[in-house]
Structure 1
Amino acid sequence: MKELIELSNLPKHIAVIMDGNGRWAQNQGAARIFGHRNAIKAVREVTEGSVEIGVSYLTLYAFSTENWGRPEYEVRALMELLVQSIGNELPTMMKNNVKLSTIGDIASLPAGCQKTLKQACETTENNTGLNLILALGYSGKWDILQATKRMAQEAKDGLLNPADITEHTINSYLATEERPPVDLMLRTGGDHRISNFLLWQLAYSELYFYEDLYWPDFRREHLFEAILSYQKRERRFGKTGDQIKENSAK
Structure 2
Amino acid sequence: MDGNRRYARMHSKEVQEGHAEGYVALRRMLEICMRLGIRCVSAYSFSIENFKRSPKEVETLMKLAEEKLLELCEHGELLETYGVRLNVIGKTELLPERVQAAVKKVEGLTRHNDRAILNLCMPYTSRDEMTTAVQAAVQHSLEVGDENSVITEKDVDAHLMTTVSGSPPLDILIRTSGVRRLSDYLLWQCSENTQIQFSSAYWPDFGLWDFLPILLDFQRKMCVQHF
So what's the TM-score if we normalise by structure 2? 0.89
In structure 2, give the amino acid aligned to 1:152.
V
Higher relative contact order (CA 8 A, sep 6+): 1
Partner amino acid for 2:26? V
User: CA 1:159–1:172 in structure 2 vs 1: closer, same or farther (change >3 Å)?
Assistant: farther
**8 Å contact from structure 1 (residues 98, 124) kept in 2:** yes
Give the total of aligned pairs.
221
The reply on whether 1:82 has 2:65 as its aligned counterpart is: yes
Q: Distance in 1 between the 2:184 and 2:223 partners?
A: 23
Amino acid at match of 2:12: G
Q: Secondary structure at the match of 2:45?
A: strand
**Counterpart-to-counterpart distance in 2, 1:54 and 1:91:** 18
Q: Secondary structure at the match of 2:41?
A: strand
Amino acid at match of 1:58: V
Report SS of the residue matched to 1:233. helix
Matched, 1:198 2:186: yes
User: Displacement, 1:143?
Assistant: 0.6
1:170 counterpart (156, 163, 173): 156
The offset of 1:91, in angstroms, is: 3.1
- Report if aligned partners of 2:138, 2:151 keep a CA contact under 8 Å in 1: no
1:162–1:67 distance in 2 versus 1, CA, 3 Å:
farther
User: CA deviation digits over 1:162-210, x for unaligned, max 9?
Assistant: 6453332111111112422211011111011111001111112101111
Aligned to 1:145: 131
Say yes or no: does 1:61 pair with 2:44: yes
Partner of 2:215: 227
Deviation at 1:221?
3.1
| Greater mean deviation of Cα atoms: 53-62 or 148-157 | 148-157
Structure 2: tracts of 5 or more residues without a match: none
CA drift of 1:223 comes to 2.4
RMSD over aligned Cα, in angstroms?
2.0
Unaligned runs of 5+ in 1: 1-17, 246-250
The answer to whether the 8 Å contact 1:139/1:197 transfers is: yes
The reply to whether residue 208 of structure 1 matches residue 202 of structure 2 is no
- Give the superposition deviation at 1:137: 1.0
Deviation at 1:234, TM superposition (A): 4.4
